[in-house]
Amino acid sequence: MLRRFYMASACFCLTAGQLAAQARTESAKPGFREISVDRVQHFVVASSRSMRDRAAVLTFAKTLCGTQRVCFVHFWTSEAQAGRRIPMTDRQVDAMVASYNRNLNTGNDAFQCYNFGSKGEHC
């Protein structure tokens, strides 16, 4: 099953698996919202309050990835500054507050919170 969503002149195609992941994440944790998917890249906006809960951020990322063997989840607290596809602009990368990267082929499973230990830390 493939559904097409048209926005401006771009087409975003979601498979049945991606639609299922979207349904899981929408009910999984309030305060998180996936705004775009670009193959294995997921783009998420979350409230600042939600981003302070590391366990919730990591749980949301893993839920969003579902059964994808390779998956990247990028988090922002400002939708206006968030990326929506790769490549991202320098401004979008600078505004990112966290990321989760998983590659089951290599055993990589990494979570990174940006601005860790600083006043601007988000998670």
- What pTM value is reported for the model? 0.75
**Residue 116: pLDDT above 70?**
no
Dihedral over alpha carbons 41, 59, 103, 35 (to 10 degrees):
0
Q: CA–CA separation, 109 vs 100, rounded Å?
A: 8
**Sequence-distant (≥ 6) Cβ neighbours of residue 58 within 8 angstroms:** 100, 111
Which of the pair, 109 or 30, is modelled with greater confidence? 109
Per the CB < 8 A criterion, the answer to whether 4 and 13 are in contact is: yes
How far is the CA of 83 from the CAs of 17, 24, 27, in angstroms? 22, 22, 23
